[in-house]
Amino acid sequence: QLQLVESGGGLVQAGGSLRLACAASGPILRYSMGWFRQRPGNKREFVAAVSWSGGTTYYADSVKGRFTIARDNDRNTAFLQMDILTPDDADIYFCAASARISMLTNPNNYAYWGQGIQVTVSS
């Protein structure tokens, strides 16, 4: 059982940056890692994903060019660098791990989830 814990969220002004981290309780080398976000009452939305090696990344169109996903397998940690934040980016962000190497935009393909962390962007 892999446990994931997010950190790095908080309040930032529009145009600012935040860096989220996702620390895993065990090795993540076998897993693709993803970030999703969700507002109350809405479906969980794909943000970004990275392959086990870090060599392939995927982004939602809404964050492409502003967000960067990365991973450090030696530290069992994944990251989401978020730049040029807008109020539309304000959500609860979740880290997730998947044993799959494809279809990583679908939250149903992730077996492990963090508890979520709040990101607030003031205008």
pLDDT (mean) for 70-85 = 98
3-state secondary structure of 70: strand
pLDDT digits (tens, 9 = 90+) for 6-54: 999 999 999 999 999 999 999 999 999 999 999 989 999 999 999 999 8
Residue 37, strand partner residues: 45, 93
**Mean pLDDT score across all residues of the chain:** 97
| Percentage of the residues of the chain whose pLDDT score is greater than 70 | 100
Helix count and strand count (H, E) for the chain: 0, 11
